[in-house]
């Protein structure tokens, strides 16, 4: 299992080459780019423009720039976290998650609509599912079992934290290992290559 985190500060050299109403032609780090109001490129966003000046946002800071004027500044590239999970001999992707602050092993399961936890594990994690959850029935391979829908305060995998995650607490021993389903996975980017599943997210 490999965890990667990337964050960088890059220099941005910006020159205004042409101005039109709500449109500007910029040279950004040597690359010519046409931006319309609301567009962004390499951390530079055009707020507005007229025939004399462009209002740009660079690293959250707004600057006015006239025709053929240049500005050199720095901006922080988006932070990205990535977790690489190797597939085991049972063709499963297993990793460690923090569920409401509790460290547990989970199976990454894109076929599961929600995060799924059995009742014993939920009780051990202090999840009062019978008091806070909505009761329902869940059909398993062998029977119809009681289940409760709850909202978990947080689920974190590889430093990628998602709050208010819907989960199903299932009465009995299924699943034996919690399933990390789509109510968490929809918030991350998933890529699978050569037996390794990568979870990533940018801020």
How many angstroms separate the CA atoms of 113 and 129, rounded?
18
Q: What global pTM score does this model have?
A: 0.64
Mean pLDDT, rounded, for 153-162: 94
Q: What phi and psi, each to the nearest 5 degrees, are found at residue 143?
A: -165, 180
Q: Apex CA 42: angle with CA 71 and CA 26, to 5°? A: 50
How many angstroms separate the CA atoms of 43 and 66, rounded?
19
9 pLDDT higher than 50 = no
pLDDT of residue 41: 83
- Of the candidate ranges 14-28, 56-70, 72-86, the one whose mean pLDDT is the lowest: 72-86
Nearest to 2 by CA among 180, 136, 199, 184: 199
What is the share, in percent, of the chain residues with pLDDT greater than 90? 59
Name the residue with higher pLDDT: 68 or 86: 86
The CATH architecture annotation of domain 8-76 reads Roll (2.30)
- 81-202 folds as Cathepsin D, subunit A; domain 1 (2.40.70)
140 pLDDT higher than 80 = no
Q: Which residues pair with 31 in a beta bridge?
A: 28
63 pLDDT higher than 80 = yes
How many angstroms separate the CA atoms of 49 and 44, rounded?
14
**Cβ atoms of 126 and 100 closer than 8 Å:** yes
- Domains of the chain, residue spans: 8-76, 81-202
Helix (H, G, I), strand (E, B) or coil at 182: helix
99 pLDDT higher than 70 = yes
Residues 6+ apart with CB under 8 A from 184: 115, 155, 157, 162, 165
pLDDT of residue 4: 43
Q: What confidence category does residue 79 fall into, taking pLDDT thresholds of 50, 70 and 90? A: low
Name the residue with higher pLDDT: 102 or 70: 102
- Respond yes or no on whether the N-terminal peptide bond of residue 175 is cis (omega within 30° of 0): yes
Calculate the CA 88 to chain-centre distance. 24
Name the residue with higher pLDDT: 109 or 10: 109
CA dihedral 16, 18, 24, 28 (to 10 degrees): -40
Name the residue with higher pLDDT: 131 or 138: 131
49 pLDDT higher than 60 = yes
Q: Where are the beta strands (DSSP E) in 44-195?
A: 44-49, 53-58, 61-66, 70-76, 80-86, 94-99, 102-108, 115-118, 134-139, 144-157, 160-170, 179-180, 189-193
130 pLDDT higher than 60 = yes
């Amino acid at each position: 299992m490999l965890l990667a985190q990337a964050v960088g500060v890059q220099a941005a050299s910006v020159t205004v080459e042409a101005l039109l109403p709500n449109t500007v032609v910029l040279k950004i780090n040597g690359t010519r780019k046409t931006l319309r109001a609301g567009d962004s490129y390499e951390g530079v966003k055009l707020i507005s423009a007229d025939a004399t000046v462009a209002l740009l946002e660079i690293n959250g800071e707004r600057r006015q720039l006239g025709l053929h004027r240049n500005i050199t500044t720095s901006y922080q590239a988006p932070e990205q976290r990535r977790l690489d999970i190797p597939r085991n001999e049972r063709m499963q992707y297993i990793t460690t998650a923090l569920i409401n602050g509790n460290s547990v092993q989970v199976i990454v399961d894109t076929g599961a609509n929600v995060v799924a936890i059995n009742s014993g594990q939920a009780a051990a994690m202090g999840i009062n599912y019978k008091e806070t959850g909505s009761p329902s029935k869940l059909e398993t391979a062998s029977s119809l079992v009681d289940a409760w829908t709850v909202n978990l305060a947080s689920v974190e995998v590889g430093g990628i934290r998602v709050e208010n995650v819907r989960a199903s607490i299932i009465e009995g021993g299924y699943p034996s290992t919690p399933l990390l389903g789509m109510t968490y996975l929809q918030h991350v980017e998933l890529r699978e290559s050569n037996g390794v599943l990568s979870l990533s997210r940018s801020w």
